[in-house]
Amino acid sequence: MGEFVRLEVVDGVATLRLDRPKMNALDSAMQEEIRAAAREATERDDVKAVVVWGGERVFAAGADVKEMADMSYTDMVKRSGELQACFSAVAKIPKPVVAAVNGYALGGGCELALCADVRIAAENAVFGQPEILLGIIPGAGGTQRLTRLVGPSKAKDLIFTGRFVKADEALAIGLADRVVPAEEVYDEAVKWASQFTAAASFALRAAKEAVDKGIEVDLETGLEIERQQFAALFATEDRAIGMGSFVEHGPGKAQFVGR
């Protein structure tokens, strides 16, 4: 457990909790704690799905600008790769991941939310990539993940202007997947994640990898990725359980074992 980031597991659902008052500013130490928590969530067999949450007030208001202001070009050459790796560790968790977004998700906070598979936002949530207003660009995946999520035109509008996006617009452009009252965000995220606590974990892992890797390549290559993942699942115990249960009892009654 880190100073500002902790992983709490209840009934198969892990909460990757950001807790650096007042605004969860993502300095380099906190970034490393996020990476460590993501690795733990990846490695633990009792974790079936993950909720990324910054608390009731704010998701994360961005990187620690005071820390960055004193960094030189050579400093950032050394740090930028590690910065991306810390966020990518969340994106690479081979389990369903949902971001529960209350309040601000700006700059690095927005980029962290983009690493999740699904984003559930509060009615008071505000997203944005305002780095351009500091004379820089998003550096933790914003130019890439945001573009893949909402398309290049909308991504350029947000990145070029640095403007803030309220929850209703975020939902309309696909930046958020669901908008709920602020007091319901975390519970809704846990509810979504809980769907997968008894699921076929290797099939979920294969599905996530096929989608995430397939979107980066041409259709033919993507289909080959899918074919390989599909065929590989026939080596799992859960595949035999699932098909046997379907034949005997119909759909939705299999009791998977995660192997």
Residues labelled as active-site residues: 63, 108, 111, 131
Distances (CA, A) of 15 to 8, 9, 168: 5, 6, 25
Q: Residue 163, class by beta-carbon neighbours within 10 Å (0-12 exposed, 13-18 middle, 19+ buried)? A: middle
55: buried, middle or exposed (CB in 10 Å: 19+, 13-18, 0-12)? middle
Nearest of 120, 136, 118, 159 to residue 65 by alpha carbon: 136
- From CA 120, how far away is CA 118, in angstroms rounded? 7
CA 48 to chain centre: 14
Entry field: residues in the chain:
259
Rg from Cα positions in the chain: 19
